[in-house]
Amino acid sequence: MYTFVQPVIDLLASILQVLFHFVQDWGIAIILLTLFVRGLLFPLSLRTARQTMRQALIRPELKLIQERHKEDQAKAMEETMKLYQRAGIKPLSMFTTSILQMPIFMAMYGLFLSHGASMSSSFIPWVASFAQVDQWHILPALAAGLTFVTSLIPLTSEMVTDAPLFPRIASSLVMVVVFLLILWKAPVALGLYWTSGSLFGLLERGFYRSPLGKKILLRGRPELITSRE
């Protein structure tokens, strides 16, 4: 089942072994591995965040185009593509980070199934090894909660009113339930990986909302924010 991601499993196992050699705790080593992976993916995550913000900022113009050309769908599509090009929006690039995370997630699953029996940590004393299921479901619930909270936080304050709250809650709940079902019976180490990644994502979202983060998000497209003021 994990044959096609075996090279990734081997690479992650080697990195995890090196980290364990320095910290002498598998729990800390997994947290550091998570930070390493998320750090490598940060440029792609930043690209996705920029695309998300640009789409939110041009939404008023997009609605005007749809209203102006509601009788001519071809013209509406043409004007929409022009708007996307002017704003630097590439819709397909939104899925890049998610696509890349899937084989990494599968590799982590395979890694902890095959190597988790020899791993344990004082941070998770309620399981004998990391290959076991979290019988108390603490980490799956924590990972789901962090993911849910992060998904509800807009990238910037300008995006707060761009999407209704209840649809965002509904879509976030669907995503969280899916992840919760996966983690519920998964090795506890996978729950630790996802919890650490979710916490990183929450801190990342907080960074994007800071003045520096907002400046980085708007780099190359400062006219988008001024056009809304």
pLDDT digits 0-9 by tens, 156-180: 666 655 556 677 677 778 888 888 8
| All residues at 6 or more sequence positions from 134 whose CB lies less than 8 Å from its CB, including other chains | 124, 126, 127, 140, 188, 191
**Average pLDDT, whole number, for the chain?**
84
**Mean per-residue pLDDT, 206-225:** 75
pLDDT at 157: 65
Please state, in angstroms and rounded to a whole number, the distance separating the CA atoms of residues 187 and 108: 10
pLDDT at 1: 55
pLDDT at 122: 87
Predicted TM-score (pTM) of the model is 0.83
Report the range out of 52-66, 109-123, 214-228 with the highest average pLDDT: 109-123
pLDDT at 195: 93
Q: How confident is the model at residue 37 (pLDDT cuts 50, 70, 90)?
A: very high
Please state, in angstroms and rounded to a whole number, the distance separating the CA atoms of residues 65 and 81: 11
Evaluate whether 146 touches 183 at the Cβ level (below 8 Å): no
Evaluate whether 105 touches 8 at the Cβ level (below 8 Å): no
